[in-house]
Amino acid sequence: MDQSIIQIDFADEMKNSYRDYAMSVIIARALPDVRDGLKPVQRRILYAMTELGLSPDKPHRKSARIVGDTMGKYHPHGDSSIYDALVHMTEDYSLTLPLVDGHGNFGSIDGDGAAAMRYTEARLSGGAMTLLENLEKGLVPFGPNFDESEREPLVLPATLPNLLINGTTGIAVGMATNIPTHNVGEVIDGVIAYIKNPDITVRGLMKYVKGPDFPTGAMITNADDIESIYQTGEGRLTLRARTEIENSDNGRKNIVITEIPYTVAGNNSKLLENLISLMKDKVFDEIYDVRDESSKEGIRLIVEVKRDRNIENLLNGLYKKTAMEDTYGVNMLAVKDKQPITFNLKHMIQEFVLFQEELYTKEYRHLLAKARDRLEIVDGLIKATDVIDLIIEILRGSQSVKQAKGCLIHGNTQDIQFKSKKSEREAAALDFTERQAEAILTMPLSKLIGLELLKLHQESDTLHVNIAEYEKILGDVGELHKVIITRLRNYKKKFALPRRTELANLSQEKYVEEIKEEDLYILIDRFGYVKSVDTASYSRISPESLQEYSHIVTLKNTDKLCVFTEEGNMHQVKAMNIPKGRSRDKGVLIQTLCKLENETVIFYIAMENLMETQLFFATRKGYVKQVSGVLFETNRSVIASTKLEAGDSVAGITPLTVEDVIAGDRKVILITKNGLSLGFPLDEVGELKKTSRGVKGITLEQDDQVAYAGVVTPDREEILFEQKTYYPRKIRNRKRAAKGQKANIT
């Protein structure tokens, strides 16, 4: 066997490879670091911009150059993903404190995309500098890039709690993060409160950090749930658009949407399209018009409402049917020590403070070392000015810089020409440090001016004061905290803005459909095409045209049309959902309105009339019953209207008025397929539940079935059925269980 072939279990290899892939996505792509609040691609973009010198006081540089440097040096995952991340960091509607200052078309809150990277320019913002200050001081660890040709910071020295302020969203493998944005001033106050009292509770922190604050403003309507979210790091926020009511033309009023939920930011045009579709589809009959009057001053979506309509009720419907009210799922997941962890509010602030203590300790150690080095040089220069003549003599008598330097540091006078033995003895006593000697040898003669000597003494005094201060800060954590707090307060003065998102506790009220009531005529032809017309249109239809319709039902536009089928079902259609038409319009098939599936319609009635009616049912197998119309009241679109045996179906349904029921002279007529008929008083048919099969009305031969069933009045002379005439008075009353008799047929 070839020794280069390695045998590995396939399941183990898949498990290990997928685990490595998942951890790579979690740590190196999708989730932010809890310390600086940045994903790797964001951190690399900011660092590349720093290397290009794109500070806020420098000109903008083409985005293509920034993307190219980032991809070529640090992030080899495609230019589109890098540019998307760059664009996101410019969005003032996505971030509380944008990290990139964009110049050009970087998209809009409406959902417009950014221009190509070759057209746009960018530089770092003031907010980004809070994450990059002191990067050159070695405060954070660096590591090799993907090909080990460069080094990049593994975390930025962030001195502002960016993760809470700007939030983040990311989808990894098997987990996701969704941290909301917060108010800069509130977060800084919360951090300071924690520094002063590390035992503070989440509830105590919420006196300062009151809740998420989104750059789009709007409202959080379940403020009572925020504490639970901050305690656990997980939960749901309900966001609602902010609206105003204004007067419009012709007595109408406008609902003006001035702030949208954060979840709609970057997709505002979709909300507008949704509102327009609701108007066109007449989902909300109250809407007269929808338009967009947004400008650079802010969002302004107009929903114009018809006169004399309940605006609060309409708002409740809009909250339910559109993104004017939306849910934001909070999941405060971030990476700590290469492990994804769900943080609560206190733990997230605690991690930031620990990082600040580490940063500031390194910073002041750096400052202390630098001050001590400078003091060493300044003291050497001051000391050198006191013996400047001797130093000049040493320099003139030396054959090389090395020889002169050795004399200054170690007092080595060998081979140096002195003017006198006294000078040689004084030179042998010199003991400058190596750093001081180098400074002396490079010191310009201008340093010997009296004013320059005074500056050296002043600098020495300042350095002694600074060193004492640095040592005090490094020796006392309380003093270190004071420095952290001071800088945070300066940031608050610079970046803090008033809270934009209102916190409230509001329940979603139910929308009550509001329709201006009017009479309608539902016209149904023999092919099942249906349309509705108002009273004025109906009056203009000629009697000849009306004969084309097999059913005409009168009802209110707020009512429902009940459709009964042979298969024993009742379907409901809202009158307002039946399209209005003119006399020439064909209408739409009833099947499309109530989703009939191979069912045959035999009876139509308005729900309002049904509630005041008794229905007489007869089936093909001869069962009959009366059912109160009240039993058919339901909100379901389809219900069973009666119980049927296998192979049975409804032969006929007759509506009965109160007069029909109490008159006592109404007669039931049953006619079979084979021409047999039976008549008996309506009083003999009992009232039953709609779930009942009924009682036997006629006994049939095996191959026979009821073809016609109806209730007639005493004055009914004849029944025309299947081109045959039946005479109700001649149809004998017999026992319902008996066979029918041959009818008189003309």
Work out the burial of residue 72: count CB atoms within 10 Å of its CB; fewer than 13 is exposed, 13-18 middle, 19 or more buried: middle
CA distance 522 to 127: 66
Please work out, in degrees rounded to the nearest 5, the angle formed at the alpha carbon of residue 204 by the alpha carbons of 201 and 206.
115
Is residue 119 part of the annotated active site? The answer reads: yes
Do you know the residue count of the chain?
Answer: 746
CA distance 746 to 739: 21
Q: How many helices (H) and strands (E) does the chain have?
A: 23, 35
CA distance 618 to 677: 14
Active-site residue, from 47, 83, 93, 119:
119
Strand partners, 237: 328
User: For the chain, what percentages of helix, strand and coil (3-state, to nearest 5) are there?
Assistant: 40, 25, 35
Instruction: Provide the token pair at 458.
Output: 């002043």
Amino acid at 365: R
* DSSP conformation class of 38: -
CA distance 89 to 622: 77
Q: Which residue is associated with the tokens 């419907």? A: 317
Contacts of 155 (CB under 8 A, 6+ apart): 33, 35, 36, 43, 140, 141
Residue 158 phi, psi (nearest 5) = -70, 125
98-101 long-range CB contacts below 8 Å, 24 or more apart?
A: 98/125, 98/127, 99/42, 99/46, 99/124, 99/125, 99/127, 99/128, 99/131, 99/166, 100/45, 100/49, 100/124, 100/125, 100/128, 101/56, 101/60, 101/125
Instruction: Provide the token pair at 398.
Output: 């030396």
Q: Which residues are catalytic?
A: 119
